[in-house]
């Protein structure tokens, strides 16, 4: 690739950060968001929920363990990634490690970004940048190479889910419980967590009428962007609520289940993107440390009579899950499948399977 003369981040308020390039050489625009996790960049970069976003890592040293091999399991699912490609639009870090060392490393982060045509910028004061994003909220921004200017782009005005969802129905596994995975940008670890619990998983596109399927339970996946864009998914969830078989939603799935039940959502000031968000299960003293990645939240006050909050965020009191008071429906705003992050709440997949077994009786 030709030598880059200059690379900079330009925020929509006019703030400019000059840095050095370590990725693909092209100008990009998107929503600038930050993640405070210390590890897990291969998983984060391949998480479809980051579609359209320029990701800032607040942890200063990135790249020191490279990126893993692209090995797949017996179902053809990558062992170490959350989708088949990088979904972020650009990566912003403080210090890039040109040396990497890890038993499972195949490539450097730089090589991987170049292969996926994603720009990376380092030698940025990410603490100063994060301070701006915390005070003013998530902002539009652009990474500019050699002063090649482009228009600002707001990903939340597009249907990002339609861009990242599977295009066709796929079947994985051969277990006794048949689960429909509604793919609004599903991470592979949701699939892995289901498959190791004796399930057959039918993965369907975001706008597919899954109520026509013969199923035991429905998994509503995570995904990017504004939940209000997923009107077709919400219509199908409403039908599934009428059918009454168990439903488990994660992240965007929590918001869509909430909207289908009559609730509403709003955009958080700067979102939750980290490995260490504490959530409390309401009615208990039980606190869990969770992995999170979302920019929108469900409004607790908008929930209808039959629904109630299940978890609440300790930091800002925002909704972290809901449940139906009499029927087998529940969801979480955080990621019980983690990948990356703490696996403390993976037991919720067992709770979902227990609901399926109970409803079969």
Catalytic site positions: 251, 335, 337
223 annotated as ligand-binding: yes
Question: How many whole angstroms separate alpha carbon 192 and alpha carbon 64?
Answer: 27
252 annotated as ligand-binding: yes
248 annotated as ligand-binding: no
DSSP letter for each residue of 111-140: HHHHHTT--EEES--HHHHHHHHHHH-SEE
* Helix, strand, coil % over all residues of the chain, rounded to 5: 25, 30, 45
Contact 203, 191 (CB under 8 A): yes
76 annotated as ligand-binding: no
Question: How many whole angstroms separate alpha carbon 302 and alpha carbon 294?
Answer: 19
| Two structure tokens written together for 143 | 């990474």
Beta strand 53-57 pairing with 28-35: parallel
296 annotated as ligand-binding: yes
Give CA torsion, residues 69, 168, 238, 272, to 10 deg: 20
225 annotated as ligand-binding: yes
271 annotated as ligand-binding: no
Residues annotated in a binding site for L-glutamine = 49, 223, 225, 252, 255, 293, 295-296
Binding residues: 49, 223, 225, 252, 255, 293, 295-296
């Amino acid at each position: 690739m030709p030598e880059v003369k200059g690379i900079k981040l330009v925020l929509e308020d006019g703030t400019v950060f000059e840095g050095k390039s370590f990725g693909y050489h092209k100008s990009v625009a998107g929503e600038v968001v930050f993640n405070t996790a210390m590890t897990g960049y291969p998983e984060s970069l391949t998480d479809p929920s980051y579609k359209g976003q320029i990701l800032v890592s607040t942890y200063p040293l990135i790249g020191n363990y490279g990126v893993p091999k692209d090995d797949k399991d017996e179902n053809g699912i990558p062992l170490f990634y959350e989708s088949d490609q990088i979904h972020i639009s650009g990566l912003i870090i403080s210090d890039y490690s040109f040396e990497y060392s890890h038993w499972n490393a195949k490539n450097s982060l730089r090589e991987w970004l170049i292969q996926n045509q994603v720009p990376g910028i380092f030698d940025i004061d990410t603490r100063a940048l994060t301070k701006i994003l915390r005070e003013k909220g998530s902002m539009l921004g652009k990474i500019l190479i050699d002063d090649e200017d482009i228009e600002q782009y707001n990903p939340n005005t597009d249907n990002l889910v339609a861009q990242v969802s599977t295009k066709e129905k796929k079947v994985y596994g051969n277990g006794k419980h048949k689960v429909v995975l509604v793919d609004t940008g599903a991470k592979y670890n949701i699939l892995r967590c289901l498959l190791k619990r004796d399930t057959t998983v039918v993965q369907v596109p975001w706008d597919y009428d899954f109520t026509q399927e013969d199923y035991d339970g429905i998994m509503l996946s995570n995904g990017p962007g504004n939940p209000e864009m997923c009107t077709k998914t919400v219509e199908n969830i409403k039908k599934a609520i009428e059918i009454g078989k168990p439903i488990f939603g994660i992240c965007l799935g929590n918001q869509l289940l909430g909207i289908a039940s009559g609730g509403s959502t709003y955009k958080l000031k700067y979102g939750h993107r980290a490995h260490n968000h504490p959530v409390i299960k309401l009615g208990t003293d039980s606190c869990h440390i969770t992995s999170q990645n979302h920019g929108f939240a469900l409004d607790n006050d908008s929930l209808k009579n039959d629904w109630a909050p299940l978890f609440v965020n300790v930091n800002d009191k925002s909704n972290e899950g809901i449940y139906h008071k009499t029927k087998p429906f529940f969801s979480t705003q955080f990621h019980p499948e983690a990948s990356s992050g703490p696996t403390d709440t993976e037991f919720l997949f067992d709770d979902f399977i227990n609901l399926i077994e109970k409803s079969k009786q």
